[in-house]
Amino acid sequence: MKKYANIAGLLGIVVVLAGLVVYSINSMITTLATILMAVGVLLLIAYVVLRFQEIKTGLSSRSAKFGSNATLMVVFLLGILIVINILAGRFTYRIDTTAAKIYSLSEQSRKVLKHLDKDVNVYGFFKSGDEARAKEMMAEYAHFSPRFKAEFIDPDKKPGMAKKYGIKSYGTIVIECEDKQEKIHDVTEEAITNALIKVTREGVKKVYFTTGHGEKDYDKSDQSGLSKAKEAIAELNYDIEKIFLVQEPDSIHADCALLIMAGPQTDLLQPERDKIDAYLKRGGKLLLMLDPESPRSYADFLKDWGVEVGNDLIVELSPVGQLFGAGPIMPIVSTYANHAISEGFNGMMTMFPQARSVSKADEPPAGVTVTEIARTSANSWGETTPLGADGRVGFDPDKDNKGPLSIFTVAEKDAENPQKSEDKYDLGTGDVKTRVAVFGDSDFATNAYFNFQANGNLFLNSVNWLAEEEDLVSIRPRDPEDRRLSLTARQSKMMLWFGVILLPLFIFALGIYVYKRRK
């Protein structure tokens, strides 16, 4: 009987396993799987019945008792782990341990997600097995907003969905909100968040660049052009056009959300100044980027806004600048005020080739709030005399302005004649603010320097603040921090001997010693 019992037990295990394999292949309980598992269970029951006395005797032995206790402890531990896993799945806490936080969303992206008031559906069209990175990124977005929902589709398995959204290549992500839709092909935070902004924003604001004063041109792609700045602004869902103020009949366009003057080289005429004044009084927004050679007419215009434009050239003797090959007339800024424009800029650098000081006036006009955003280091000064033929400069305490010096200043006040919502031009609801931002340099936003450190971020954040779109983002890619360990040849050999040879030998010898002592 013992022989037949053993055969029944072994056969029962094999048949049950066969039933589980059939179930796994079909992903459902078929008739064959049910029969196999039922027969297997019956054979196992037969084994228990035939060898019941032996099993009972074995279970009552001391070793069985210890084994059962160990089994109970294992089951208990597994139960605890299962409960912890269920709780972790329901109540998650995420932490990014990388130094550069490369796996975390920026504060700007979280702000956009926090203010989502509409459902956003994301469809990622990836070949099966290629969506892991995108799925991880979308999970991070969904973690911060229940309105953000992502689904991944293999276009080969669901060609109807691919045809519906006009998918022509793998790796396309469609972000959809109501009747708006954006397609992206880069699985980056900047691309996803900007597309999210575009589909959730109501309307499109217009940004106008002035012409006719030798300003820098956003249509030029050379080093002195602003084509990169234009592309970055367009990515944030703005319409961009040029405006020739002299030819404007009465006033600046009614749909102008922001007026930019990028490095004007000729004087601001009185009719143009009158149009800008009228525009600002109704709640307009102005971004002025003045170079050291820009005429004094712009400095005179800004006095009404409590902004003092220095007649100088900032010189900075900084070892940091030398690391980037920057000369003394290319100040590098790393000190910023606590302001919406410079939020999160601590530790970031911006470079301003040939800049002049732009600071807060000693006594700003009543009702105007003036803030100095970016300041140079204490090793800088404002050179008030022309550079010599040899380019040599030196600080003269009687003539020059001692640093730190402000290089970027903003002013804000309540609009004197706010535009009403029934008119063509509506600058906002409630209290309408007039905003003016002034840089002491325009080269920092050109194609040559736009991608240097935080230059592009500072320019775009200024545009967003002026246009009252503070939650729009300009996200600088976060690279893993370089933490390599450099070793000399001698140190490498020491690491080899101690880490690879001597330490394992010591542990092995210690094991032999303990074994002999116990024996």
Domain boundaries, the chain: 2-90, 107-190, 204-311+354-376+405-466, 488-519
- Placement of tokens 């229940």 in the chain: 146
How long a stretch of residues is the chain? 519
Handedness of CA 321, 346, 475, 217 (dihedral sign): negative
Give the CB-side neighbour count of residue 414, counting CA atoms within 13 A: 5
φ/ψ of 346, rounded to 5, equals -55, 130
> Spelled out in words, what is the top-level CATH class assigned to the domain 204-311+354-376+405-466?
alpha beta
Q: What is the pLDDT of residue 395?
A: 78
Q: pTM for this one?
A: 0.66
pLDDT score of 187 more than 50:
yes
**Residue partners of 403: CB distance under 8 A and separation at least 6:** 314, 316, 376, 377, 378, 379, 380, 381, 382
Q: What stretches of 254-357 show up as alpha helix (H) in DSSP?
A: 270-281, 296-302, 319-323
Q: Is the peptide bond before 404 cis (omega within 30 degrees of 0)?
A: yes
pLDDT digits (tens, 9 = 90+) for 40-65: 889 888 888 887 777 777 667 676 66
Q: With beta carbons less than 8 A apart as the criterion, state whether 315 and 358 touch.
A: no
More confident residue, 132 or 426: 132
Q: What is the CA radius of gyration of the chain?
A: 35
Beta partners for 148? 120
CATH number at 107-190: 3.40.30.10
* Residues 402-418, mean pLDDT to the nearest whole number: 91
Q: What is the pLDDT of residue 351?
A: 93
Tokens representing residue 120 in the block = 């956003």
Give the CB-side neighbour count of residue 194, counting CA atoms within 13 A: 23
Q: With beta carbons less than 8 A apart as the criterion, state whether 218 and 230 touch.
A: yes
Q: What is the pLDDT of residue 416?
A: 84
Nearest to 296 by CA among 275, 266, 273: 266
Q: What stretches of 214-348 show up as alpha helix (H) in DSSP?
A: 227-235, 270-281, 296-302, 319-323
Residue 430's pLDDT band (cuts 50, 70, 90): very low
User: Of the ranges 8-22, 213-227, 469-483, which one carries the lowest mean pLDDT score?
Assistant: 469-483
More confident residue, 330 or 62: 330
